[in-house]
Chains A and B, each alone.
Chain A
Amino acid sequence: MEKIIKIRQLPLKIFLLIVANDLIDTSAQLLMKKGLGICELNSIRSFFDHLLNFGNPLIFLFWAGLIIYLLNFFIWMKVLSKVDLSVALPLASSSYILIPIAAIFFLHELVKPLRWLGLALIVLGIYFISGSKPSKDQGAVHE
């Protein structure tokens, strides 16, 4: 039997899936935003015309984003099949810390002390939540 690596009560695999889900979600939204560009919403008809206007190369970014966004749903369902909703949802906030930390290291951004405190509280919150015992023995049979 494969050994399951855990962060406290939480399987590492599930934690990584939650983080991946959140990062993919953000990227997909950026793609859709970039692909939509600026379009005037005169009518639903003109909006769909805009979406289906493949003469505009940017619109492919929108569709790529939408497909990635929908595929990401499978990852989220996989997560929900293994842990409590009240555990999965707050843990998705880990992207709140991963993005600023990435910004600090790669973009050399300056971080205000109050924000450091906020980040520290989120990390502490993740520590507590990952220690909470599962309500049910979810999906253990299939491990």
Chain B
Amino acid sequence: MSKIILLVLIAEFWIIIGQVCFKKSADRLNARGKGPKTWVLHLLGSISRTPTIWIGAAAMFVGMLFWFAALSSGELSYVYLLGSIQYIIALVAAHFFLNEKINKSKLIGTLLITLGIILTIAS
């Protein structure tokens, strides 16, 4: 496996882990049941008390470092082409870590978007 492919995969892995943590944090905030008006204030107060937000941010940061490493060692469009794998990784990760269902419309939609992005970049 080439170095760039490996770097992109590692980067996407950490970025998706970060997103999973953010989603978990958002659900936790939801569960506490605050109205939409106080949502931002509520979030500000909770950021210090919600460890998953910080873990998510750290994972994102690590992912970004690998992403930049990939960008600096390959052609921009090629790296972004590889990066389109993130939607498929996210679909699988959300299924295992967040119990989100993989239904037919999600699967078809995700594959179409990934293919569409590849065509858009490659053309």
Chain A residues with CB under 8 Å of chain B are 74, 76-78, 80-81, 84-87, 89-90, 93, 96, 100, 112, 114-115, 117-133, 135, 138-139, 141-142
Contacts and interface: CB of A to CB of B under 8 A. Distances in A.
Contact of B110 (A78, A114, A129, A142): A129
B29 A125 contact: no
Given A77-B25, A131-B105, A139-B30, A84 B113 contact: no
B110 A90 contact: yes
A81 B22 contact: no
B86 A89 contact: yes
A132 B91 CA distance: 13
Given A85-B90, A89-B90, A141-B33, A124 B112 contact: yes
Interface centre among A76, A89, A117 (most CB of B within 10 A): A89
B51 interface: no
A119 B119 CA distance: 8
Q: Helix, strand, loop or mixed for chain B's interface?
A: helix
B112 to A, nearest CB: 3
Contact of A87 (B20, B106, B114): B106
B115 interface: yes
Contacts of A87: 106
Contacts of A127: 109
Contact of A85 (B23, B40, B43): B23
Contacts of A76: 22
Contacts of A121: 112-113, 115-116, 119
A133 B103 contact: yes
B119 A115 contact: yes
A86 B116 contact: no
B113 A114 contact: no
Given A80-B26, A139-B30, A132 B109 contact: yes
Given A74-B40, A142-B35, 11 more contacts: A77-B25, A77-B43, A84-B94, A85-B20, A89-B90, A117-B123, A121-B112, A121-B119, A129-B110, A132-B103, A138-B30
A41 to B, nearest CB: 12
B30 A90 contact: no
Nearest to B57: A73
B118 to A, nearest CB: 7
Given A84-B100, A87-B106, A112-B123, A118 B116 contact: yes
